[in-house]
Amino acid sequence: MKLEKGEISSSQLMFLIGAFIQGGLLSVSYAYPISKQDTWLAEAAALIIGLLFALVYIALANKFPGKTLIQIHDLIYGPYLGKLVSLQYLWLFVTALSAYLWFIGDFILTYMMPETPMLLIMIMFTFVCAWAVREGIEVIARMSIGSVFMTSFILILTFMLLLKDMDFNNFLPILEVPLGELIQSTHIILHVSFSEVIIFMMIIPFINKPNQTKKSVLLGIIIGGLGLIIGTTRNIAALGPLSTVVSSPSLEAVRLINIGKIISRLEVLVAMAQILLLFIISSVYYYAIVLSIAQITKLRSYKPLVLPIGMLTMALAFISFESKIQLNYTMRYITPVFTMWFYYVIPLISLLVAKLRKLPK
């Protein structure tokens, strides 16, 4: 039985992926202290590597048309081992969503509503995501189109308005950081922005024109990646070394905009755009989690799972991280290593096994 009756167009998939990756601009701050003025180079390298691994995900999706990642595992590894592999991915999705929920709670608390309890912020945000997930993937995909256009407009506008405050000498000397640190930074950005595209293997089966999957996925990654590079270029040129110590370089850079005391306080627009993008990211993970559970347990619908899973994930988020320092350490040094198995190794093994077994038969 098909749990999702809706369909999305190839352009909606492209914008959904673009919004998903653009939302990682805030998370790129994990890499700034490591690669400093060369962070944009790390992003460019991560974009190229991300496109290469996306080809693996696309090859798997095209080999098993109409099947989600969970269903593909059953076909490749059998019903028992396949479910064991899928449960590992389910845990990956849950921990990722819990990290994003904590991140959005801390972001709104720090920059917008400092006197509001963080738990209340997380509850409100989770309920909004729950509504979107219950409405289905079509609603989330349609919202992503407006998100990308709005974010891109704000990104270009703030870049232009900051030109007079930019110092492109902040990028010099190029490649000053040691190669090992540049590789580490690239790996972090690859993890927080590009490798997470594997989540879309839960959504690709619902595209109405499967033959356009490759084009949509790759263009979406490029759109999102260019947004990251432009945003990082703006931040480094405007802030210089300060970009490595502030918690949100994007907001701090845009705060410098003050034209005739008329055009100012544009960081509010940036914050709203980032919240919208984080909503898209969280909703995609949320949707993938409930759909995965429904497919693993053979439920007729994923909708009864939406609220309980949201509450459990939010509770996990609230107890998993004690501070921003702990989250930053986890995202820099733990999860990029932990997730290599899921983002790179298992997909390659799955594709190899499928070819050796000549699947699908």
**Residue 39 within a domain:** yes
What 3-state DSSP class applies to 29?
A: helix
Q: Assign residue 321 a region (left: φ > 0; alpha: ψ between -120 and 50; beta: otherwise).
A: beta
**252: CATH:** 1.20.1740.10
**Residue 103 within a domain:** yes
**Residue 357 within a domain:** no
Over residues 108-163, the pLDDT tens digits come to 998 888 889 999 999 999 999 999 999 999 999 999 999 999 999 999 999 999 99
| Distance of alpha carbon 324 from alpha carbon 316, whole angstroms | 16
Over residues 207-261, the pLDDT tens digits come to 998 999 999 999 999 999 999 999 999 999 999 988 888 888 888 888 888 877 7
Structural domains counted in the chain: 1
Over residues 38-90, the pLDDT tens digits come to 999 999 999 999 999 999 999 999 999 999 999 999 999 999 999 999 999 99
**Residue 359 within a domain:** no
> Cα 47 to the chain's mean position, in Å?
13
Which pLDDT score, from 0 to 100, does residue 111 have?
A: 85
How many residues does the structure list for the chain? 361
| Threshold 0.85, pTM exceeds | yes
Over residues 166-206, the pLDDT tens digits come to 999 999 888 889 999 999 999 999 988 899 999 999 999 99
Domain that holds residue 110: 10-350
| Distance of alpha carbon 291 from alpha carbon 151, whole angstroms | 28
**Residue 4 within a domain:** no
- Name the E strands within the chain: 258-259, 263-264
Which pLDDT score, from 0 to 100, does residue 2 have?
A: 62
Share of the chain above pLDDT 90, in %: 71
**Residue 1 within a domain:** no
Mean pLDDT of the chain: 91
pLDDT band at 359 (very low <50, low <70, confident <90, very high): confident
pLDDT band at 4 (very low <50, low <70, confident <90, very high): low
**Residue 305 within a domain:** yes
**Residue 40 within a domain:** yes
